[in-house]
Structure formats: C-alpha cells, structure tokens
Amino acid sequence: MIDLIKNLAITNRRAKSSVIRELLKLTNKPGVISFAGGLPSPECFPIDQLADITSKVIKEKGHLAFQYGETEGTAELKEEIIKLLKTDEAITIKKENIIITSSSQQGLDLVTKTFIDAADFVITEAPTYIGGLQVFRCYGANIISVPSDDDGLCVSALEKLLNNLISDEEHYKMLYVVPDFQNPKGTTLPFERREQIVKLAAKYNFIILEDSPYRHLRYRGNAPSMLYKLDSLSNTISLFSFSKTLVPGFRLGYIVANAEIIKKFSKLKQSLDLCTSPFIQYITAEFLKQGYFHPHLNKIKSIYEKKLNVMLEALKKYMPEEVTWTSPEGGLFLWATLPEKIDTTEMFNDAIKENVAYVIGSAFHADGGGKNSMRLNFSYPSEVEIDVGIKRLAEVIKKKI
C-alpha cells in the first residue's frame, strides 16, 4: 500500500476528533453514571406517533418519499417550518429563506464552507460547542474567544475585541453564538445583549451565526427574541435542529437566512449529498402537520425540567461550597466551576473509578482554557441516577480540595 496517510489534504490534517467521543468510550464501563453525553432521553421519543405517521407516509407518498428530492428540501416540510416560526417566534419567512440540512451539524459545515477561508477570523464564546470548533478548525479559521458570564457572551468584551481587530486591519467575518441554553454552559443571552450584538454586526460588518438547537426546550422564564428576529439587516444566519425536540436519529435540521445566501448553501449542498432524505422530511412534515409537535414538546419539557431540578437540588445538597454552577432555564446541560487548583482532566480517572463521568471543561475552549470546569448533562440519566451520580462526583471533588 502506498502511504496514503502521508498524502492527507490540509483539511484532514486540521481536523480533530471530538474529545467527547473519546471520553464516551470510557464512560461505557458498566455501573458508570454518565453526565458526559448530550443525548436526549429515549423515553422522550414519540415512538407510537412516529410508527403511525411513517406507515401513512410510506403508503400515501412512498413514490415521492423514496425518490430523490430537491436540494433545498421538500415543499411540505418548508411549509410546516414557516408556520412553526410564525407561531413560536413571530418570524415571517418564505420558502426561499430555508434550506433543509442533514442535521444542524451539516448546517454548521455548510455555513463555514460557504464563508470561511483559511486565516479568516471566527469569533466564538468561551466556552462553546465542540462541534462548532471542529468545523471552524477544518477550514483553517482563526478562532478567537470572547469570555462569557452567567448571561452568556460578554458583549463589552466582544466590542473591545472588534475594535482591536479593526485597528489591526484584521479580516474577521463571523460570530458564532448559541444564545439559548448554551452548550456547554446552559446560559441564555438576555434581550439587551442580543440587541447589542445585532448593532455591532451592522457596525463592524460581520455575520452572526445563531445556533439554536435547544431553543424549544424552555422550562421557565420568558424567551428573548431570536437574533434573526431582531436583525433587520439580514446579517444573521440561524441554525435549527429536530434532534433535541423530535429524534436525533433522523439527522434533520434547517438553516434560515436571506434568500441569496440560501442559494449559495444549496450550490454547495449539491456536492455534499445532493439532498437530505425526503423520507425523513415527509415523516417530520407530517408530524408537524398533524399538530403533534407542541403537545410532544410539553411532554418532554416536563420530563427534562424535573431532571434539571433534581440535579440542581443534588448539587446544593452534596457539593462543597467552593463549587459553583449555572442555573439554566432550559436545554440539556449545566456548567460547574471548581476551585482553580483542580484540573478536571486530571480528576477524570478518579471520577471513572467512582463510577461517574462528565465532560472536561477545556474541551469547549479553543485555547485549552476552562481547566477547572465541567459540563453536566441532565437529560439522559434518570432522576435517581442524577442524585446518586452527583453525590459520587461531590465525593471525588471533596478529596481534591
């Protein structure tokens, strides 16, 4: 065999496997209670409804659902998305503003491939979603992090950075932000910060990439408007996903943006996969059309809210006072910060020995920061496991203090 590995293109050499994927292998040990994954709970999959709908779709629309489809997505699903954004977000769009993607991860790849050349600046929150960092790295982006607090991205720090970059004549292009129940911190960006970001985008001429996979999963409080809604200048591109609200196994998401931009995504998507499975799209459109979506959301929100409350109570009950954590209003994750001297990577093996797992905080930092922090998922483990697992984790931490 010729040494193909030595022939790798720069894109592949830049690509890094997700640390989470490696960690997850360790957490498969029997008896481990894992807060490491980001999986929805299977009890939240609407199995019976999907069985009925799938059978209906195959019988009535099999000849269309099993055929090739349009690159931009099926008209049926786009119509349902338009209605959904109208009722839930007061956002008015047309079909031309939507492209259906094979997961919102594909959305991230499409947007980045469309706009980011090597050495272009992409600004992210610190910490931020690992899958975002992976994509930006693939395309050789210069990733700059802006700190965040309990209200998400610090806009004053962002403005200072933009000022510095502009005086250095640097070429920055995009801000990547997860405004609602952020992965990994669980924080939500308040309305004022959203307005400020939209203004900064207009002033400094950059794209806002708004990633909203968790937005429908709000358990308390009121939702500030989406950045897309606030941005009258179409600088915002928004990514959506059905993975957390319906099922991840469909690998279905969509992008909402200015129609001219959608055309550019479509051109690239042709060479990526021609189109997203029409079969999956017809099933999802029918699920929405039948009115199953909102009752289903209410059901799973009540399940996840209880789990979140159990985790918050367990943290309060078991954790030493030196440990702090965020208090999310929705989503799947919260973020714990330990005393500075504790390195959660070093502590990871101790935790596995005590049969509990988390994701190390540094994985979410482009610069390897956040060593004394961790992400805790509350959607997948049961309520009992959450209580027992947090107790175990507290014991591990206490030994380090």
For residue 294, what are the β-bridge partners?
none
Q: Pattern of binders to a copy of itself over 30-49, x per CB under 8 A?
A: ---------xx-x--x-x--
Tell me: does residue 324 bind a copy of itself (CB under 8 A): no
Nearest approach, Cβ of 251 to a copy of itself (angstroms)?
A: 5
**Angstrom distance (rounded) from CA 329 to CA 52:** 33
Nearer to a copy of itself, 148 or 276 (CB): 276
Residue 135 or 227 having the CB closest to a copy of itself = 135
Helix (H) or strand (E) holding 232: none
Q: How many of the chain's residues bind a copy of itself (CB under 8 A)?
A: 85
Task: State which residue, 164 or 205, has the beta carbon closest to a copy of itself.
Answer: 205
Query: 180: which residues sit within 8 A by CB, 6+ positions away?
Result: 188, 189, 212, 214, 215, 218, 223, 330, 331
d(CA 227, CA 234): 10
Q: Is 358:311 a contact under the CB 8 Å cutoff?
A: no
Under rule CB under 8 A, residue 121 binds a copy of itself: no
Binding of a copy of itself at residue 258 (CB under 8 A)? yes
Other beta carbons within 10 Å of 266: 16
Interface segment toward a copy of itself; rule CB under 8 A; list 152-160, 269-277, 291-299, 362-370: 269-277
**Residue 346 CB-density burial (10 A; 0-12 exposed, 13-18 middle, 19+ buried):** exposed
Applying the rule CB under 8 A, the residues between 154 and 213 that interact with a copy of itself are: 173, 201-202, 205-207
Query: Does 261 interact with a copy of itself (rule: CB under 8 A)?
Result: yes
Which residues within the stretch 216-245 sit at the binding site for a copy of itself (CB under 8 A)?
233-235, 243
Q: Which of 97, 105, 373, 379 binds a copy of itself (CB under 8 A)?
A: 105
**CB within 8 Å of 87: residues ≥ 6 apart:** none
25 is a contact residue toward a copy of itself (CB under 8 A): no
Q: Which is nearer to a copy of itself, 4 or 321 (CB)?
A: 4
In this structure, what are the phi and psi dihedrals at residue 268, rounded to the nearest 5 degrees?
A: -75, -35
